[in-house]
């Protein structure tokens, strides 16, 4: 029994093998795309959280800057002589206070400690002195 293999048969066999290889390649590509989409969704979720935090901080800083601009304008008008000496000193004190609040809001300075905490520290030091006998 002789088997005859024609060029047409070889061509069909080659196209079939190529189709199977292409199908395997597309399956692997789809799996990789699914993993990539999951990671992209996670990154977008993180970006949304960070964007909302940045928007809140921007509103806080905008309010502080608005207050600082008002104080600076008031100081400028004081310097030009539109207000008296007492008003100038008051405005300057308000400017310093607003600047300090801005620095505290930005995290550059720490807020003042409560006076009660200072009293408790002195009592603790007295107790340690009495205990050690010094």
User: What burial class does residue 77 get, using C-beta atoms within 10 Å of its C-beta: 0-12 exposed, 13-18 middle, 19+ buried?
Assistant: middle
Specify the pLDDT at position 98: 81
Specify the pLDDT at position 128: 52
User: Rounded to an integer, what distance in angstroms lies between the CA atom of residue 119 and that of residue 134?
Assistant: 20
Specify the pLDDT at position 12: 94
Under-50 pLDDT residues of the chain: 118
Specify the pLDDT at position 83: 52
User: Rounded to an integer, what distance in angstroms lies between the CA atom of residue 1 and that of residue 107?
Assistant: 92
Specify the pLDDT at position 132: 56
User: Rounded to an integer, what distance in angstroms lies between the CA atom of residue 95 and that of residue 106?
Assistant: 16
Q: Could you tell me the two tokens for 87? A: 């008003």
Specify the pLDDT at position 16: 96
pTM of the model: 0.41
């Amino acid at each position: 029994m002789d088997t005859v293999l024609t060029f047409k048969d070889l061509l069909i066999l080659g196209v079939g093998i190529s189709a199977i290889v292409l199908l395997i390649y597309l399956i692997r590509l789809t799996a990789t795309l699914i993993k990539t989409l999951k990671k992209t969704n996670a990154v977008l979720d993180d970006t949304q959280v960070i964007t909302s935090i940045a928007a809140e901080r921007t509103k806080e800083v905008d309010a502080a800057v608005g207050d600082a601009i008002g104080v600076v304008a008031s100081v400028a008008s004081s310097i030009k002589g539109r207000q008296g000496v007492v008003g100038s000193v008051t405005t300057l004190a308000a400017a310093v206070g607003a600047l300090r609040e801005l620095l505290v809001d930005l995290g550059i300075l720490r807020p003042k400690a409560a006076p009660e905490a200072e009293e408790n520290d002195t009592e603790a030091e007295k107790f340690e002195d009495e205990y050690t006998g010094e």
